[in-house]
Structures are given as C-alpha cells and as structure tokens.
C-alpha cells in the first residue's frame, strides 16, 4: 500500500504539447515521481483512465460527444481537476470552428461526412465540468505545472499568475516592441507565464497565455488600427490560439463584423 497522492494526465482534442511539458521537466519529474504515483499518463506509459485520483490534469478541448461523456467520468473520479494549456482553458486553435458552419465545413472536407462524429463547437473543459485550477499557455509552462502540484501536495492554493506580459517585459528590462518598433503586440492584454519570450527576441506577443486580468482589448484593437492593420488583421490577432476566451472572442468578432461590413 502507498499513501502517495495519485495523479492522472488525460488527453482530449489537442496536439500533446502540454503533456510534453511534464516530460520536459526532466530530473524534476523524477523527483515528483518519488512523491506521487502517476496512475494514468499515456505519454509516459501509464494506462488506467478509470482510476480514482487526487489530481487529474486535462489537456485538450471538448470537440466530440465522446469527449463530454469521458470528461464527466474523470471529474467524478478526481479530487482536483486542473486544465493545462490553451485547448483545455479556451478551446484552442480548433475553436476556430466556432466561427464557421461546422456541418458545411465537414461536408466540404470529407467525402463521407456522415462518419464524422464531431460537435459543432470546440469548448474549454470548464464549459462541461467544474474546474479547480486553470493553467494557461500554448504549451503550458513546465514550471507552472510543477508549482501547482507541489502547492496541492502541501495543502495550499496554487498561485495564479494574472500579470500582463508588459509587466514581465518591464521586470526584464525589455524594450517595448509596441511603442519602440510599432509592432502589433498582444502583450498589454495577455497574461504572463512565458517569461516574455517573444518580446525578448524583438517580436510581438501573440497571446499564447490567454487574457490577463483587467484587459482592455477594445482599446488595443484601436491601437492596432492606428498602426495600419486592416479589420481582418485585427480580428486575427484576437481570434487565434485563445480566441474562444470571452475577452478575446468579443473583440475579435466585432472586428470580424467590421471586415464583413467593409469597415
């Protein structure tokens, strides 16, 4: 018998990148494995999807009827449920289907669309079940995952990072690519977690860590227009990796409508 906490890592509609965040922990993962039991983690060779666990990590969005049913079973078997990555927290790139006629799209792509059992939308995990913690990112940061596990093992609430990328740039002494270079950077409305990776190399942030708290997307969109972006380009900035998040979706859709109206 063991008194170790039991952990499961489940995959839904996604690219596996956030599971790799676990594996990329390297030695830290080996240390973690000494503190907990991984009972389901297909990427690492553990297969017990129906196991009762203390912490269930979910990668990926809900995009099929089977996904929804499997997710409810996982929630029932888990003390804590944590979503990792853009797909699980906001629907991911596959949520672009939410902007289109999914049935017509499927019929145009597949010769026999009647065999494709897919939902009309791709939704985050919280739309289906209760989520105890969301870790944003595309992919999620390995450090975030490890910190969340350690906090829960010690019985404390994990720290949620809501600072904007701009704050991270300031702390690192990075030159602002929006102000200094005129690049349409999403940093002012995006939460940190990446270490301001893209601005560190002189390129604009593309919002892979999702919306930060108190974000003013409408104001930033108007600034992008001032930089010369057309409505379609402004919409694409918001309707991307985390485009299905409510903060980005509303701004992106409004500029998409302006594009359609010839604005």
Query: Would residue 160 count as lying in a domain?
Result: no
**Which of these three, 93, 128, 153, is where a domain ends?**
153
- Which residues, at least 6 apart from 227, have a Cβ–Cβ distance to it below 8 Å? 182, 183, 184
Per-residue pLDDT tens digits for 201-241: 999 999 999 999 888 999 999 999 999 999 999 999 999 99
Can you point out the beta strands (E) in the chain?
5-11, 36-41, 53-59, 78-84, 133-135
Omega of the bond leading into 139 within 30 degrees of 0 (cis): yes
**Which of these three, 92, 126, 153, is where a domain ends?**
153
Q: Is the pLDDT confidence value at 182 over 70?
A: yes
Per-residue pLDDT tens digits for 105-130: 889 999 999 998 889 999 999 999 99
Same domain (yes/no): 110, 206: no
Q: Is the pLDDT confidence value at 259 over 80?
A: no
Same domain (yes/no): 126, 234: no
Domain range for 89: 5-153
Determine contact, residues 119/65, Cβ cutoff 8 Å: yes
Q: Is the pLDDT confidence value at 1 over 90?
A: no
Flag the least confident range among 1-5, 55-59, 186-190: 1-5
* pLDDT band at residue 102 under the 50/70/90 scheme: confident
Residue tagged 């297969």 (tokens): 47
Same domain (yes/no): 217, 243: yes
Q: 159 or 181, which is more confident? A: 181
What pTM, to 2 d.p., does this model score? 0.90
Same domain (yes/no): 45, 131: yes
Instruction: Tell which residue, 114, 116, 8, 126, has the closest CA to residue 56.
Output: 8
Same domain (yes/no): 137, 173: no
CB atoms < 10 A from the CB of 92, how many?
27
| Eight-class DSSP state of 164 | B
């Amino acid at each position: 018998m063991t008194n170790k906490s039991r952990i499961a890592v489940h995959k839904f509609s996604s690219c596996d990148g956030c599971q790799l965040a676990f594996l990329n922990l390297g030695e830290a993962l080996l240390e973690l494995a000494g503190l907990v039991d991984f009972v389901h983690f297909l990427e690492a060779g553990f297969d017990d999807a129906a196991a009762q666990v203390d912490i269930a990590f979910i990668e990926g969005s809900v995009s099929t009827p089977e996904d929804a049913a499997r997710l409810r079973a996982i929630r029932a078997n888990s003390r804590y449920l944590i979503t990792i990555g853009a797909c699980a927290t906001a629907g991911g790139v596959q949520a672009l289907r939410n902007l289109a006629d999914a049935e017509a799209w499927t019929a145009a792509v597949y010769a026999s669309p009647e065999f494709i059992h897919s939902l009309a939308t791709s939704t985050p995990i919280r739309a289906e079940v209760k989520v105890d913690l969301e870790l944003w990112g595309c992919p999620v940061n390995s450090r975030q995952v490890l910190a969340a596990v350690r906090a829960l093992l010690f019985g404390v609430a994990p720290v949620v990072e809501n600072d904007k990328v701009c704050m991270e740039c300031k702390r690192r002494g990075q030159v602002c690519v929006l102000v200094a270079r005129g690049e349409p950077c999403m940093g002012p409305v995006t939460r940190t977690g990446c270490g301001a990776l893209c601005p560190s190399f002189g390129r604009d942030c593309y919002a892979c860590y999702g919306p930060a708290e108190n974000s003013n997307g409408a104001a930033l969109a108007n600034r992008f227009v001032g930089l010369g972006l057309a409505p379609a380009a402004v919409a694409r900035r918001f309707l991307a990796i985390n485009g299905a998040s409510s903060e980005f979706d509303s701004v992106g859709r409004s500029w998409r409508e302006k594009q359609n109206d010839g604005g």
